[in-house]
Amino acid sequence: MALSLAEGGKFLILGIPGPEVDSATREILEAVRPSGLILFARNLRSPEQFRALLDELRRLLPFPPFLAMDQEGGRVSRLRQIGNEPPSARDLHERGDTSLIRRHGTLTGQLFRLFGLNWNLAPVLDLEIDAEADNSLRNRCYGRNPDEVSRLASTFLEAMRTEGILSCGKHFPGYTFVRVDPHETLPTLDRDPAQLEAEEWKPFRKLLPVCDSLMVGHVRCPTLDPSGLPSSLSPAIVRGILRQKWDYPGVVVTDDLDMGAISNHYSLPDAAELALRAGSDLLLVCHRPQFAREVAERLARLPDAVRAPAERRIESLRERLAAPLPFSFERFVDLDVHVGRLRADSLSPEKASEPTRDHAKRSPVETY
């Protein structure tokens, strides 16, 4: 059974509940052997504690794990739990200075290497058409114009790549024109293929060769898949568009399968099976690792024709994972000071003076 679980676990990126590896989490990781872990604010207490946690996670797995985080800038900045908050994509877009975005990518990459992280689930490639829309994108986009988003997002990911950190473009096929937050419910995207290609798909098309991975979001797209399946579970969208039409050979990761868009309609094992069959490779399970055994067992039973292509893509990407750098608290302090300076240089004086670690009230996207 342990081998079977590990055979299914290789497609999973799991979240863990706290700042330490408790006995239940240890048992799950040793049995399931997920391909990697995703870290959140709940896992951070101090710089030293966080590095120790990541070191322990690496020791628990018999291969170099993907150690991922969402560090976009602004409100989606997990490291602000222990340091300064970098400017958001919208803040940087408003300044229009690519040197600031390059600094952001460089500092992000250096902090990741210092802690032992190796994969940033960023940048967002969606467009900010409506700044007030409740679609989870507030302040997370590099602009309204596809060419502008492509140029600025590529600056960020290329700076990270120089530091050895993998990127992830998100959220295909796009949250740009949806009106509800997929963390809560399943949105519908009422756009036809010609509209998508002319506007919000342009950044994805443009950056496809340089994105180390792509994230598929959770939206119902009637014009792309009349069956009604969410995009993350849809063969017509993942395999039909990304794999076949666009000939994308890289890793596709799902947005969190614990989000309301999926969990309100599917069991976790069913969603995971559908996602892998659709053509995705790595499946995010961020908040319910207690179901990892059940999910891994289901995935282990899938035919080789489904599993083998995903395995090859995962292992190809794993070969590019950067090793952690030696940890130094003094180095962290120095980098954090530079993040604070970047924030001051990027924001208006009023915004720059606002507290950067006010967690009293968070929207769902800030906790996912």
Q: Give the DSSP per-residue string, 334-365.
A: HHHHHHHHHHHHHS-HHHHTS-S---SS--HH
Closest Cα to residue 365, out of 259, 253, 264, 254?
Answer: 259
- Tell whether omega for the bond before 183 is within 30 degrees of 0, i.e. cis: no
CA distance 364 to 346: 25
Checking if the pLDDT of 67 tops 90, the result is: yes
Compute the average pLDDT of residues 20-28. Answer: 97
- Lowest-confidence pick of 16-25, 80-89, 137-146, 215-224: 137-146
Checking if the pLDDT of 358 tops 50, the result is: no
How many CA atoms within 13 Å lie on the side-chain side of 308?
Answer: 3
Q: What is the pLDDT of residue 221?
A: 96
Q: How many domains does the chain have?
A: 1
Bridge partners (DSSP) listed for residue 214: 169, 252
Q: Which of 183, 218, 281, 287 is catalytic?
A: 183
Closest Cα to residue 124, out of 153, 86, 163?
Answer: 153
Checking if the pLDDT of 360 tops 70, the result is: no
CA distance 251 to 213: 5
Closest Cα to residue 174, out of 166, 182, 162?
Answer: 182
Q: Which of 255, 256, 258, 281 is catalytic?
A: 255
Checking if the pLDDT of 368 tops 70, the result is: no
**Percent of the chain with pLDDT strictly greater than 90:** 88
CA distance 223 to 174: 14
Range of 49's domain?
2-367
Report the CATH number that the domain containing residue 97 is assigned in CATH: 3.20.20.300
Q: What is the pLDDT of residue 13?
A: 98
The residue ranking higher by pLDDT, 365 or 248, is: 248
Bridge partners (DSSP) listed for residue 73: 76
Residue 315 CA: distances (Å) to CA of 64, 273, 276, 311? 10, 20, 16, 6
Is 93 catalytic? The answer is no
CA distance 150 to 180: 24
Q: What is the pLDDT of residue 129?
A: 82
Q: What is the pLDDT of residue 354?
A: 61
Q: What is the pLDDT of residue 349?
A: 61
Q: And the tokens for 146?
A: 């596809």
In this structure, what DSSP letter does residue 215 have?
Answer: E
CA distance 235 to 275: 8
CA distance 272 to 74: 30
The residue ranking higher by pLDDT, 339 or 357, is: 339
Is 338 catalytic? The answer is no
Q: Report pLDDT digits (tens) over 87-127.
A: 999 999 999 999 999 999 999 999 999 999 999 999 999 99
CA distance 169 to 72: 11
Residue 26 CA: distances (Å) to CA of 57, 152, 197? 9, 40, 45
Compute the average pLDDT of residues 362-367. Answer: 43
